[in-house]
Amino acid sequence: MPDDHQHDTGVRGPAARVKALEELLAEKGLVDSAQLDQITETYQHAVGPRAGARVVAKSWCDGEFRRRLIADAVAACAELGIAGPEGGHLVAVENTPRVHNLVVCTLCSCYPWPVLGLPPAWYKSFAYRSRAVSDPRGVMREFGLVISDAVEVRVWDSSAEQRYIVIPERPRGTESMTEAELAEIVTRDSMIGVAKIAGLAKRIAS
């Protein structure tokens, strides 16, 4: 592995190439370094799965919102001020007692950035991209999630413009929690489909 943190001239590896590209393109007036700072700042700190968690929590608390979300996730997320690149054709798919949803992109690593941020390392891994379609139950078991044989597993391969977010089931024992509290317990992995959200009792016990 090249050392990515070196910045001296003459460094090899991708770090040096990125630096070279940025310099050359800036000299030609094709990129603006301040704008690049802004983009990295946005994706490192502003965009992430907390946005998706807010959407899920609201869908649990507000039946009308849930209906709008399933019908048109782009419009429903816009109500919460959530939008951006890779979110223009967002689709929300809900888990039910009969269907469990799992999202993958076998051809590259398409992912719904505005609601989940940039994808975690495992989502981009060759192991996930290859087996999520042919062995979804095996893949989920590797995450500790066992789906009953009575439940249909529905895998969504994001091959076109649509980007998918899973609306996980609301765990039992959370009836008294507020929307803001619920948003705290919604995990990124549950919105991809490789996890469920632990119930309140289990939470207190652990």
Partner 1 sequence: MNGIHDMGAMDGFGRVEHGEPGESAAFHSEWEARAFALINSVLVRSGANVDEFRHAIERIPPARYLASGYYERWLHATETLLVEKGILSRPEIDARAGSEIAAIPAAHVAPAKPRAKNPRARFRAGRRVRARNINPAGHTRLPRYVRGKIGVIRHDWGIYIFPDTNAHHAGEARQHVYNVAFAARELFGPAAHPRDQIVIDLWEDYLEPAGSKPAARTAAKKTKKKPPIATRRKGSSQVRSHAR
Residues in 62-81 that interact with partner 1 by CB under 8 A:
none
Shortest Å, Cβ 112 to partner 1 = 14
Q: How many other CB atoms are there within 10 angstroms of residue 165's CB atom?
A: 30
Nearer CB in complex with partner 1: 139/197:
139
152, 179, 181, 184: which one binds partner 1 (CB under 8 A)? 152
CB-based burial label for 3 (10 Å; 0-12, 13-18, 19+): exposed
Catalytic status, residue 109: yes
Residue tagged active-site, from 33, 61, 77, 105: 105
- Token representation of residue 32: 């603006």
Stretch of 61-69, 70-78, 156-164, 168-176 lying at the interface with partner 1 (CB under 8 A): 156-164
Nearer CB in complex with partner 1: 78/151:
151
Residue tagged active-site, from 108, 125, 130, 134: 108
Rounded to the nearest 10 degrees, the angle between the axes of helix 14-27 and helix 33-41 is 130
Residue tagged active-site, from 33, 61, 77, 110: 110
Shortest Å, Cβ 97 to partner 1 = 13
With binding defined as CB under 8 A, does residue 206 bind partner 1?
Answer: no
- Per-residue contact flags (x/-) with partner 1 for residues 174 to 203, judged by CB under 8 A: --------------x-----x---------
- Per-residue contact flags (x/-) with partner 1 for residues 101 to 130, judged by CB under 8 A: -----xxxx-------xx-xxx-xxxxxxx
Shortest Å, Cβ 28 to partner 1 = 7
Stretch of 13-21, 71-79, 174-182, 196-204 lying at the interface with partner 1 (CB under 8 A): 13-21
Please choose, from the candidates 172, 163, 179, 166, the residue with its C-alpha nearest in 3D space to the C-alpha of residue 200: 172
What does residue 154 show for φ and ψ, rounded to 5 degrees?
-115, 110
Secondary structure of residue 125 in the 3-state scheme: coil
Catalytic status, residue 77: no
What does residue 85 show for φ and ψ, rounded to 5 degrees?
-55, 140
Contacts of 181 (CB under 8 A, 6+ apart): none
**Residue reference for tokens 């994808």:** 119
First to last CA, the chain: 38
Cα–Cα separations (whole angstroms), residue 55 to 44, 45, 203: 20, 18, 22
63, 81, 85, 97: which one binds partner 1 (CB under 8 A)? 85
Catalytic residues: 105, 108-110
